[in-house]
Amino acid sequence: MTNVNWKNELSQAVTETAELYRILELPIDQDYWPVSEEYPLFVPRPFIGNMVKGCPNDPLLLQVLPRQEELIAVDGFSRDPLHELSELSNNSSCCVLKKYAGRALLLVSNDCGIHCRFCFRRFFPKINSFRKNYFGKRYSDKNDSDQHHSDHFNTLLEPIRSDHTIEEVILSGGDPLLLDDSELEQLLYYIVKIPHVKRIRIHSRLPIVLPNRLTPKLINILSYPFPLYVVLHVNHPNELSDDFLVRREELSVPVVLSQTVLLKGINDHPDVLYQLFDRLITHRIIPYYLHQLDRVNGAAHFEVPTGRGCRLMEQLRQRLPGYAIPRYVREIPGMLNKQEILRDKD
């Protein structure tokens, strides 16, 4: 395993459309120039390395490339499709979401390692995340005692500590693996100390877009003797690079799952989804969810009708073993669980 610094790779991410086109040997197309300063282009070079040069419709490119279609207002699409911002605004910690019974989402970072154009949190403001409230203070104030750091951390975790119905903590964001290894280790330490928390789940796209994020220390941290689940966000078989798969074999965390967003022109074909899920289970990654697109402004051109989604699921059931078939779901604000899509309602 090479020891390339993932932070250096992140700092060298491409943020200009012209530069991305140059790397991919594509002619400049004005329709693809950045359309939003609020959510600019941001894609790491290792992820670009998985794209096919000279192909303007490469499925990985289309996930990250700003397009003029993002400016089109579409009925039913909004800036906050899951109504999460209203809950955060009423939450004194500004980083804990209690959406489902027994579980709490902990938004540990504002940032992501890649800007996917269909992200349902693409319009989130720079809320007070754990990284800002705790880690930023910790590394800037060298005179504070360890006890002060502990007290501060416990204060931030109070919404979880005080709610004894919470049995599972889900690290989300942004991307929680943008925390340093030492930061993540401390966070896990304090969560594990909460008596009623039985499980921890980490949702991340970073190991897919930056395989070097799976450092030896992180792999060791994720082997912590506590029920811990890692859920990777992967949408296309071409995202499963050899670099990632080598590092996945070093990861001994008991359960690795995946989640995928159904995206028009990217993975809405039975062969593509078959290849993705088949490759995942071959490498001991269990497909967990296939998400219907969350209807965020600027993403309408990615939406696949649920009727087509149901037909795709039926085709996959005919080709894959049951444990390789994810649940096809959508999230509806206010519901206490994700809603499984079982039949064509369109």
Contacts of 160 (CB under 8 A, 6+ apart): 96, 104, 106, 166, 169, 191, 194, 197
Q: Could you read off the pLDDT of 157-174 as tens digits, one per residue?
A: 999 999 999 999 999 988
Q: Is 113 left (phi over 0), alpha (psi -120 to 50) or beta?
A: alpha
CATH numbers and ranges of domains, the chain: 6-340 (3.20.20.70)
For residue 53, give both structure tokens: 């040069």
pLDDT at 128 over 70: no
Mean per-residue pLDDT for 318-340? 94
Q: Tokens standing for 166?
A: 């919470």
Distance of alpha carbon 309 from alpha carbon 316, whole angstroms: 11
pLDDT at residue 68 tops 70: yes
Kindly report, residue by residue over 75-100, the tens digit of the pLDDT.
999 999 999 987 776 665 568 998 88
The two tokens of residue 41 are 């282009």
> The tokens of 252 are what?
């001994």
**Looking at the predicted structure, is the pLDDT value of residue 54 above 90?**
yes
Whether the pLDDT of residue 136 is over 60: the answer is no
* CB-CB contact of 133 with 156 (8 Å): yes
Of 340, 338, 278, nearest to 310 by C-alpha is: 340
Mean local confidence (pLDDT), 197-219 = 96
Q: Decide if pLDDT at 139 tops 50.
A: no
Local confidence band at 345 (pLDDT 50, 70, 90 cut-offs): low
Query: Residue 233: CB partners within 8 Å, gap ≥ 6?
Result: 203, 204, 205, 208, 258, 259, 260, 261
Structure confidence by residue, pLDDT tens digits, 194-204: 999 999 999 99
What average pLDDT does range 178-200 have in this prediction? 95
Number of neighbours of residue 281 by Cβ within 10 angstroms: 16
Q: 278: which 2 tokens?
A: 């088949």
Distance (Å, whole) CA 211 – CA 247: 7
Summarize the confidence of residues 238-262 as an average pLDDT.
Answer: 92
Please state whether 188 falls in left (phi above 0), alpha (psi between -120 and 50) or beta.
Answer: alpha
